[in-house]
A and B are shown apart, each in its own frame.
Chain A
Amino acid sequence: MLLLIFSVAINIISSYLVGISTNQTRKKWCAILGVTINLITLAFFKYSGLIAITFFNSADTLFDFLNTIPLPIGISFFTFQGISLVVDTYRDELTTEEKNKFPKYGLNVALFISFFPQLIAGPIVKAHDFIPQIKTKTRKDIHWEDVIKYLILGYFLKSFVADNLKDYTYWIAYPFFETKSSITLIFMLFGYSMQIFSDFAGYSLIAIGIAGLFGYQLKQNFNFPYIAQSFSDFWKRWHISLSSFLKEYLYFPLGGNRKGKVRTYINLLLTMILGGLWHGAAWSYAVWGLFHGILLATERLLQDLVHIRNNHILKTVKFSVVFIMVSIGWLLFKLPEFSDAVKYIYSIIHNTELNPDYSNITYIIIYSTPIIVYHISYLLRSTNSYNKVKKYSYLAYGFMLFLILTNSGTSQEFIYFQF
């Protein structure tokens, strides 16, 4: 709580000073100071443990001190929002009306930073998207149908899909996976891909729905990522608020793709490594980010060198490659020890002589089916038959509500709370 108050105070002061500065140099320095304090706060609370393990001996007093620093919940999200506020103010992306008198401005910023629906696990909201919406709200500002749909779909993805799948992907843990057959391991990895999507997308939808109850429209955070046919497309569909934040506030300021090919690849790798590290204070997350960075860079290189006409077979191959590689990447989330992730892949290759775990496979298929249907419905959205069926969508929502009531898994913390 104290940290949140501190973050709010720093961002109010720094962004206000940026906003009222007429001197460009002073404006720039205020912005740099605001961003730096946000980053130092994040680094201190989030990465102190990683710094301790990497640079200090366990016998050092500083090692003990750094390891005891707690990780406040939501810090990764609200510090990024603070950075967004300061930078947007510097770029004059907030209108004059929004740069109100200090008391009102302070209250608006406090609301923006601490808005509870997305405080703990996003979506990361940008200042120029949220602050213009701050005004007295009435019931007319609430789009009830959308709110109900978001909440039902969100709770369904979280409590029916993710919370049930976790009981089967639990065995993706060393040494349990060593006794599972290759096919079981593949299904478990597939199940984990479905689980992490449902968990996070479900939370995001709930956050959007609750924000909607207060008359605030938050942007979508997921756009059917598992139908992506390229890695760049995947990152336009997965955790959109983070990827757009990284693009806008890191990739573009680094030069984006405007400084030659080599620099573009470096910028991509750096952005993805830092994006990976944002997820957690462990080198495995940096490796995950690097993995995606290499995929993006390689894809860009191949697109420049190879030109093949798109057909159905190629689209299927592309979609499959993207899905498989993304799923392999999720192993680093589930198994933060890099050696365990390698052992898992090794077990997939070598455990062909073991019997499948039919029960595990059956329930992974059952609980993953809604995600597959969800993505297929998106692909069919412009067809006539879909439009005919769409008027009965209340049956689908009624069925989801029924399953939430009768078939929810045991609740566990949202996976992205740990970030």
Chain B
Amino acid sequence: MLKNIIFSALVFLVIHYLIVFFSPPNWLGAPQNQWQANMIRAENLILSDTYFEKIIVGSSLSVNLNYGQFDHTWSNLSFSGLSIYEGLEIIHHLEQKPKYLFIEINVLLRDKDTFFLEHLFNPIKYPIKKKLSILKESQQPVSLIGEPLLYHLIRKLMPSNKSNNNPKIVDIKKELVQKMSKDYDIVPIDKIQNQIALLKKLLTPIENHGTKVILFEMPIDQALCNTPLTIAIRQAIKNAFPQYFFIEHPDCTEYSTSDGIHLDHDSALKFVNYFKDKIQQI
């Protein structure tokens, strides 16, 4: 029985490998959830032989920064729900450091998620994934059926024409911004200093490899854009890193968000153009 079980598992692995090998490129790699999206993003860098000259490190605020607007020399190592420190730790693991490193400063105060890094660099799975690509997150069997088959089927079975500008959602968003503005009035000076020190510690070895560091700030809801906290972070960054080029946020009144901090689709595209203009000056 055990031999039959192992043999059939191997057969399924081979079938899966063949499906992945012969599938059209766009069929695979759709993340099932936020965590997996982060893992796929990270694995696309660390398990790839491709060299990326320019890397963006950030949070969910900058996760959609490429939108197909940047060429193959770019890699976006922004992670939804995480901080900038995971991206920086990943860059430490790269043999070849990028030529340019763009760091989002909006989430400076968010702490590093060691669980994510431990999972990514698991001492057993990581070396195996380097050899066996079918074990990568982007090639999970459920991803093959989830997105292409069931997702669209579920949409057809449960059609919905409801507006996303539902008054209830609008009210909740307003409430969210109001709650956040209370948090943005508080300036945790010690925390800012500690995070700056951590950032310096992580950047020094990267810079020693010749990487040029550029800092940038994403626009957020105008009610939060120039609060005591955002001003304090901005100033602390400028004082600590005067040697770095700093792309300041554009006029926040010209941008709209879905929840106070994440740009909606049109605003995200607008910011990409702003960002590209600014990096021409570097």
Q: Given contacts A167-B33, A167-B36, A358-B155, is CB(A148)–CB(B150) below 8 Å?
A: no
In angstroms, Cα B154 to Cα A363, docked, is 10
Contact with B along A397-410 (1 / 0, CB 8 A): 11101110111001
Determine if B145 is an interface residue (Cβ-Cβ < 8 Å): yes
Shortest CB distance B123–A (Å): 14
Contacts A363-B142, A398-B12, A407-B140 hold; do A167 and B32 have CB atoms under 8 A apart? yes
A155 CB to nearest B CB, Å: 12
Once A401-B6, A406-B16 are accepted as A-B contacts, the answer to whether A145 and B135 lie under 8 Å apart by CB is no
Contact A366 B150 (CB under 8 A): yes
A residues in contact with B1, CB < 8 Å: 145, 148, 394
| Closest A residue to B135 using CB positions | A406
Do B158 and A356 touch (CB < 8 A)? yes
How far is A175 from B179 in the complex, measured between Cα atoms in Å? 12
**Judging by beta carbons under 8 Å apart, are A398 and B168 in contact?**
no
Size bracket, chain B contacts = 35 or more
| Residue total for A at the interface (Cβ-Cβ under 8 A) | 36
Complexed CA–CA distance, A405 and B132 (Å): 12
In the complex, the answer to whether B141 meets A178 with C-beta atoms within 8 Å is: no
Taking a contact as CB atoms closer than 8 A, the residue among B5, B11, B119, B139 that contacts A397 in the complex is B5
Query: Out of A145, A164, A402, which one reaches B16, CB within 8 Å?
Result: A402
Residues of A within 8 A of B154 (CB): 358, 361-362, 365
Asked if A395 is an interface residue, CB under 8 A from chain B, the answer is yes
User: Are A398 and B7 neighbours in the complex by a CB distance under 8 Å?
Assistant: yes
In the bound complex, residues from chain A placing their C-beta under 8 Å from that of B145 are: 366
Encoded as 1 (CB less than 8 Å from any A CB) or 0, chain B from 159 to 187 comes to 01010101011001000000000000000
Q: Does A168 contact B (CB under 8 A)?
A: yes
Which of B9, B142, B169 is within 8 Å of A407, CB to CB?
Answer: B142
Instruction: Provide the A155-198 mask, 1 if CB < 8 A to any CB of B, else 0.
Output: 00000000010011000000100110001000000000000000
Q: Does A355 contact B (CB under 8 A)?
A: yes
Contact in complex: A152, B5 (CB < 8 Å)? yes
Rounded to whole angstroms, the CA-CA distance of A107 and B125 in the bound complex is 40
Q: With a CB–CB cut-off of 8 A, which chain A residues contact B12?
A: 398-399, 402
The answer to whether A359 has its CB under 8 Å from any CB of chain B is: yes
A366 touches B146 (CB 8 A): yes
Closest to A407 in B: B140
The residue that A359 contacts in the complex, of B35, B151, B169, with Cβ under 8 A, is B151
By secondary structure, the B interface counts as helix
Q: Is B8 an interface residue (CB 8 A)?
A: yes
**Contacting pair B146 A358 (CB below 8 A):** no
Specify which of A179, A358, A401 is in contact with B169 (CB 8 Å cutoff): A179
Partner pick for A394 among B4, B155, B166, CB 8 A cutoff: B4
Considering only residues 196-247 of chain A, those with a C-beta below 8 Å from chain B are none
Taking the nearest CB of chain B, how far is it from the CB of A18, in angstroms? 44
Q: Which of A164, A168, A353 contacts B168 (CB 8 A)?
A: A353
Question: How far is it, in angstroms, between the C-alpha of A327 and the C-alpha of B71 when the chains are bound?
Answer: 49
Give A182 to B31 CA distance when docked, in angstroms. Answer: 24
Binary per-residue interface labels of chain B (177-218) against chain A in the complex, 1 for a CB within 8 Å, 0 otherwise:
000000000000000000000000000000000000000000
Interface 1/0 per residue, A331-366 and B, CB below 8 Å: 000000000000000000001011110110111011
Q: A362-B151, A363-B146, A406-B134 are known contacts. Are A148 and B33 too (CB-CB below 8 A)?
A: no
For B9, list chain A residues within 8 Å (CB).
398-399, 401-402, 405
Alpha-carbon distance between A365 and B121 when the two chains are bound, in angstroms:
30
Instruction: Give CA–CA (A164, B168) in the complex, Å.
Output: 30
User: Given the interface contacts A167-B35, A353-B168, A355-B162, does A402 sit within 8 Å of B13 by beta carbon?
Assistant: yes
**A397 vs B140: C-alpha distance when bound (angstroms):** 18
Asked whether any CB of chain A lies closer than 8 Å to the CB of B2, the reply is yes
Q: Given the known inter-chain contacts A402-B16, A406-B134, please indicate yes or no for A353 contacting B35, CB distance below 8 A.
A: no
Nearest chain B CB to A366 CB, angstrom units: 6
CB distance from A406 to the nearest CB of B (A): 6
Partner of A179, one of B6, B34, B142, B172: B172
Interchain residue pairs A-B with the least CB separation, the first 4: A398-B8, A394-B4, A402-B12, A401-B9
